[in-house]
Structure 1
Amino acid sequence: MMRILSLLPMITAGLCGILLLISIIGIQVPEQEQKVPLIPCGIPGFETCPVGMAEDNLSIPWGMVFLDLDANVQWDRGDVAWVGIVEAKWANEENCPPDDNGLTDCESTDFEYLSGGPDSDGSFVHTLGPGDTRFVTGGKEGSLDLSTQTVVVDITVSLSFWVEILLLLAILGLGASAFDMNFPILSNIFSRQE
């Protein structure tokens, strides 16, 4: 009877093992592609280099704290433009809100970047956490290009490291339990000491 009951912890440990393996490999979310206009910087007669900001927040709910969301952001015109991620607070009225065209009155040095920014060169990787963020973009010094560029965001989803550790401990505990049900070595040792 105990050997039949030992199937339950073995099956549960197997399911936990499958979840752990999937998390280690990661799940690819279909990539998002967006056409973004290039913003010139260094136009004769203008002393500023405006920064463009996304209209909407990228909101990650607090329930996602159990997951790692790694965003690989790439754009095809890294020679004349940059892309970055900032906290959504920069879109507030007292900071640098975008106008109807998506441009802010701030320059690239006014922002605090979570990832990317003026020093980025065509790509960056950012781990998205709970909260609100926004994408920003601008032209590099001397850029007069007015065409568009393609920005691609590729997200990989996996369990957080601490959740993977808990799964590993569950696998070991369930495996030890199933082993002890089939071969009661430890149980026999403790019962003899009493």
Structure 2
Amino acid sequence: MHSSADGNEELSVEDYRLTPSAILQYIIDPRQQQHKHYILQACSKDGFLLEQLPPACRNDKDIVLAAVKASGSALQFASTALKADKAVVAAAIHSDPFALEYACRNLKNNPQVVLQAVRKDAATLQLADPRLFSDAEFMLAAVAADATAATRAAPALLTDAGWRAAALKANDAVAHYFLSSEFFPGLPGEGPAAGGSSDQP
């Protein structure tokens, strides 16, 4: 530990590996007025320290933000209230899109939040509330970000010629999926499974 130019003590490279018991001392020692300062620095270096902190820290938005910015999946150790905080979840997803897994159910059904994750990795759609897969506007935005999102679209959308046309306009790469019987067998007017062809003269 060393002193900065303004006289405040800062953590050294070694200090940020503070043990949970040492961090707790900053909380309970009334002589240490900067306990939160040290915890913030520690969590900004290693977000997974959050797991070992007491509930009061895991419900402190500043501390949790520091942790999830360093390690998005540290969101799993945040309080229930902060897993429902849009700003905290957004910060976690920015760090790791798969942190969406630890968001509250309502945010997994929030198009803006889920799209943030999808735009970083379309595979995160598997973590979203399935009700979004029937949301035409959301699924168009997801397809625009990554054509593979089409594989999650609800049957009602896939059988809607208007939605399919809009999806193709948003991302022409989606044609690969619409024309593939492997992904969408029997789509009306699409692919070899649609309408069928006859070998009879």
Is the shorter-chain TM-score for this pair beyond 0.5, marking a shared fold? no
Q: Given the two structures, how large is their TM-score scaled by the length of structure 2?
A: 0.25
Q: Given the two structures, how large is their TM-score scaled by the length of structure 1?
A: 0.26
Higher relative contact order (CA 8 A, sep 6+): 1
Structure with more strand by fraction: 1
Structure with more helix by fraction: 2
**Which structure would you say has the larger Rg?**
1
